[in-house]
């Protein structure tokens, strides 16, 4: 069957949702929608969760935009031609720039955009708009872990080893991840770990479906993961479990770190975290008795105003016990969004250029400016982080282009962010559906999605994969790359922004060459010939069959002791870390309270997260009937003791109030949560919007907001 430009009935591709990027096959037949068929792929081994299984539903014309919309003088959105819509966007951006200066125009990207789109969007902002104001929603996802890994290892790749290693190690500590709900096929690796005789420790204030699988569940107060890690490391020291040889030969900074560790003795840590000392001792025994061990963190410890230090504390535990830079041992971050890894490597982040280069590095600026054919002096400097950018809307920033994000639902202090969006002189949104953010826009541009376009993403392992076009998009829809190309042409950059994904990827490879995330040796053909290619993968050294693929690329130290492989660099740091001296760096960290602790007026913790059947802001999954039936709306999970104290029963409407606003949702009474904490999923807009409540207090290093802990009052609505 000839389908679009792909001559195949079955098209191998990947799920459009989370960072696991499960492999799947789209079977394109005579039906209105392609059929999703499971296929073997290393991370999911044929399994798909309900979101992936139903992902073709989002391609349906019934749920999506099919023509551009522009807002008329009467305030209503009406259909428009692409010519008119793109002209309106270009005018809106140029008018703001002419009146208020280049940094009055901003761009907000997304961690679900393909590598090609993330690259093109960053280049568009810095070259065509010449604004410093670009960031993306990945800042809200794993930026603390990225910062902590860069600080400790000199390089940030979510997992520095393939996910399959989790099943072959001896002990895994999973901190703040409910992967049984967020990426269910990954749970099988943990099941296999236990079948192989390994042990699983889960750290989570809630007894989630993941925690139920654990040999040991530590249930700390929200916001105390850092103290917990320090307490475990204290016991490692006092019980003689340090790996002195590893500390001496492969790390630096232990002497500066030790005092903070010794200040967190077990009884103090029990008081801070609520985790009993015997459980701390048992965790240390399980972790250290195993010949190899792995620590994995996710949003729980990362989405805190001390997220970078918290992740740093868990990395310290790995380093002090010699559980890093060795096969089957190490630290890794379970990135959340579909292209959460690639999305932070190619230049849509406020402080970065393609190849994961730093925007304030003169050599990096000169190199990338050369690829882009501009003067390095013309490249703007680092701009505001995501929340700071949103907070400046309608004030310093007058016009905004949003691509692949729905901050009305997903940003912290979402009521305030919604007000800021409404205060803009001009807002343009590219999306596949009329999201809550698109509903505020002056121009809405309907764009193609995963199965209708080709592009690469980089999964949580640093594995670069290819999503292939399987079907043609609806007639009235264009790709994000075509949008960028069309806007750039209107801004005077006629031939500098190609719309063809492979052409963009070729330029991305060149721009990344020599950077920490070097893609220069990766081609579409090479990905297609294997199960993806792990970066770093420099061009000259990594032709298939080469045995010299060791580098993070020209101009840098050789690749962090990477293993060599035809499929790039699956494992990092085996001989040396990517720091200038090759040593991993301890982080001297100390516990500090959350930005907002419970008080008489707001006596409980609120923590937020995801549920099995919904994804992120729900813009796509709320439109899939099976998923919506399974998870139709928000709820407030609370402990039976708290429910009794408040006099509420399951299903009663609860009002949850923080210093930023009020949300209302039905009670879900469950002993799976601490009595001092309530939980709300954040996928929905409206009165049950959890992010109305969340605290935008920022981590000073990563600028990550504190989604995971704030103080609330709970009462009957
Ligand atoms: Fe796999 Fe994640 Fe898609 Fe589920 S949502 S099928 S876990 S990639």
Mean pLDDT of 605-621: 94
CA of 389 to the centre of ligand 1 (A): 30
Write out pLDDT tens, residues 195-216: 999 999 999 999 999 999 999 9
Whether residue 10 is predicted with pLDDT greater than 80 in this model: the reply is: yes
Q: What domains can be seen in the chain, in order of their start residue?
A: 2-59 (2.20.25.90), 69-141+339-496 (3.40.50.740), 143-333 (3.40.228.10), 500-575 (no CATH), 604-716 (2.40.40.20)
**Residue 18 alpha carbon, nearest atom of ligand 1:** 2
pLDDT at 662: 98
Write out pLDDT tens, residues 566-607: 689 999 999 999 999 999 999 999 999 999 999 999 999 999
Choose which residue among 13, 17, 187 to substitute to test ligand 1 binding: the one with the highest number of ligand atoms within 8 A of its C-beta: 17
Write out pLDDT tens, residues 637-685: 999 999 999 999 999 999 999 999 999 999 999 999 999 999 999 999 9
Residue with the smallest CA separation from ligand 1 atom 4 is 49
Residue with the smallest CA separation from ligand 1 atom 1 is 22
Whether residue 544 is predicted with pLDDT greater than 60 in this model: the reply is: no
Write out pLDDT tens, residues 321-364: 999 999 999 999 999 888 989 898 999 999 999 999 999 999 99
β-pairing, 199-203 with 443-446? unpaired
CA of 460 to the centre of ligand 1 (A): 12
Buried b (16+ CB within 10 A) or exposed e, 280-304: beebbbbbbebebbbbbbbbbbbbb
Q: Are 250 and 244 in contact (CB under 8 A)?
A: no
Residue 170 — φ and ψ, nearest 5°? Answer: -100, -30
CA of 50 to the centre of ligand 1 (A): 8
Distance CA 231, CA 266 (A): 6
pLDDT at 540: 66
Residues in the ligand 1 pocket, defined by CB under 6 Å: 15, 17-18, 20-22, 44, 48-49, 51-52, 183-185
pLDDT at 566: 64
β-pairing, 293-297 with 171-175? parallel
Distance CA 304, CA 228 (A): 14
Choose which residue among 19, 46, 51, 450 to substitute to test ligand 1 binding: the one with the highest number of ligand atoms within 8 A of its C-beta: 51
Mean pLDDT of 50-78: 94
Distance CA 463, CA 457 (A): 8
CA of 182 to the centre of ligand 1 (A): 8
CA of 615 to the centre of ligand 1 (A): 10
The structure tokens 């409404």 sit at 422
* CB-based burial label for 102 (10 Å; 0-12, 13-18, 19+): middle
- CA torsion 173-176-182-185 (nearest 10°) is 0
Whether residue 557 is predicted with pLDDT greater than 50 in this model: the reply is: no
Write out pLDDT tens, residues 263-311: 999 999 999 999 999 999 999 999 999 999 999 999 999 999 999 999 9
ipTM: 0.99
Whether residue 536 is predicted with pLDDT greater than 60 in this model: the reply is: yes
CA of 44 to the centre of ligand 1 (A): 8
β-pairing, 35-38 with 23-27? antiparallel
> What is the chain's mean pLDDT, rounded?
94
**Residue 15 alpha carbon, nearest atom of ligand 1:** 3
């Amino acid at each position: 069957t000839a389908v679009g430009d792909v001559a195949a009935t079955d098209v191998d591709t990947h799920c459009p949702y989370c960072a696991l990027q499960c492999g799947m096959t789209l079977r394109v037949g005579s039906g209105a929608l392609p059929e999703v068929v499971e296929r073997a792929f290393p991370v999911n081994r044929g399994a798909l969760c309900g979101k992936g299984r139903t992902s073709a539903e989002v391609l349906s014309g019934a749920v999506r935009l099919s023509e551009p919309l522009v807002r008329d003088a009467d305030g209503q959105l009406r259909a428009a031609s692409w010519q008119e819509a793109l002209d309106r966007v270009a005018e809106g951006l140029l008018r703001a720039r002419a009146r208020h200066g280049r940094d009055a125009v901003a761009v907000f990207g997304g961690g679900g955009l393909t590598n090609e789109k993330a690259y093109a969007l960053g280049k568009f902002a810095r070259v065509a708009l010449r604004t410093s104001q670009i960031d993306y929603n990945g800042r809200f996802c794993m930026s603390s872990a990225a910062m902590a890994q860069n600080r400790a290892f000199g390089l940030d790749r979510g997992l520095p080893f393939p996910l399959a290693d989790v099943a072959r190690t001896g002990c895994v500590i999973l901190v703040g991840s409910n992967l049984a709900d967020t990426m269910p096929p990954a749970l099988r690796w943990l099941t296999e770990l236990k079948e192989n005789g390994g042990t699983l420790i889960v750290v989570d204030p809630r007894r989630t479906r993941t925690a139920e699988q654990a040999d040991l569940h530590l249930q700390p107060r929200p916001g105390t993961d850092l103290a917990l890690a320090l307490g475990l490391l204290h016991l490692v020291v006092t019980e003689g479990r340090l790996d002195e040889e590893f500390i001496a030969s492969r790390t630096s900074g232990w002497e500066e770190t030790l005092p903070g560790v010794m200040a967190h003795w077990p009884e103090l840590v029990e008081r801070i975290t609520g985790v009993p000392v015997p459980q701390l001792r048992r965790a240390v025994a399980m972790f250290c008795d195993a010949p190899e061990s792995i620590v994995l963190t996710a949003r729980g410890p990362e989405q805190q105003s001390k997220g970078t230090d918290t992740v740093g504390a868990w990395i310290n535990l790995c380093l002090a016990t010699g559980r890093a830079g060795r096969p089957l041992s190490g630290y890794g971050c379970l990135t959340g969004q579909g292209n959460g890894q690639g999305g932070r490597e190619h230049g849509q982040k406020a402080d970065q250029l393609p190849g994961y280069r730093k925007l304030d590095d003169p050599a990096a600026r000169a190199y990338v400016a050369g690829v882009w054919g501009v003067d390095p002096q013309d490249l703007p400097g680092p701009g505001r982080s995501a929340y700071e950018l949103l907070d400046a809307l309608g004030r310093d920033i007058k016009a905004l282009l949003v691509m692949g994000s729905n901050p009305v639902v997903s940003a912290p202090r979402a009521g305030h962010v919604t007000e800021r969006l409404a205060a803009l002189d001009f807002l343009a949104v590219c999306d596949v559906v009329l999201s809550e953010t698109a509903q505020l826009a002056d121009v809405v541009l309907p764009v193609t999605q995963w199965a209708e376009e080709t592009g690469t993403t980089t999964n949580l392992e640093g594995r670069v994969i290819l999503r292939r076009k399987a079907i043609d998009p609806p007639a009235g829809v264009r790709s994000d790359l075509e949008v960028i190309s069309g806007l750039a042409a209107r801004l005077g950059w006629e031939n500098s922004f190609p719309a063809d994904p492979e052409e963009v990827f070729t330029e991305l490879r060149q721009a990344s060459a020599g950077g920490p995330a070097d893609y220069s040796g990766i081609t579409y053909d090479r990905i297609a010939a294997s199960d993806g290619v792990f970066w770093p993968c420099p061009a000259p050294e990594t032709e298939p069959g080469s045995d010299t693929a060791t580098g993070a690329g020209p101009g840098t130290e050789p690749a962090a002791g990477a293993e060599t492989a035809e499929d790039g660099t699956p494992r990092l740091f085996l001989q040396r870390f990517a720091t200038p001296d090759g040593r991993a760096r301890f982080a001297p960290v100390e516990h500090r309270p959350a930005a907002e602790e419970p008080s008489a007026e707001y006596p409980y913790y609120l923590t937020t997260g995801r549920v099995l059947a919904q994804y992120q802001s729900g813009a796509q999954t709320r439109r899939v009937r099976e998923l919506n039936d399974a998870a139709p709306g928000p709820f407030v999970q609370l402990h039976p003791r708290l429910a009794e104290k408040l006099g509420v029963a399951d299903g009663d409407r609860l009002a949850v109030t923080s210093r930023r606003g009020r949300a209302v949702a039905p009670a879900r009474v469950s002993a799976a949560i601490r009595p001092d904490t309530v939980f709300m999923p954040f996928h929905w807009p409206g009165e049950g919007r959890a992010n109305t409540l969340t605290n935008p207090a920022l981590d000073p290093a990563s600028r990550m907001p504190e989604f995971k802990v704030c103080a609330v009052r709970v009462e009957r609505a």
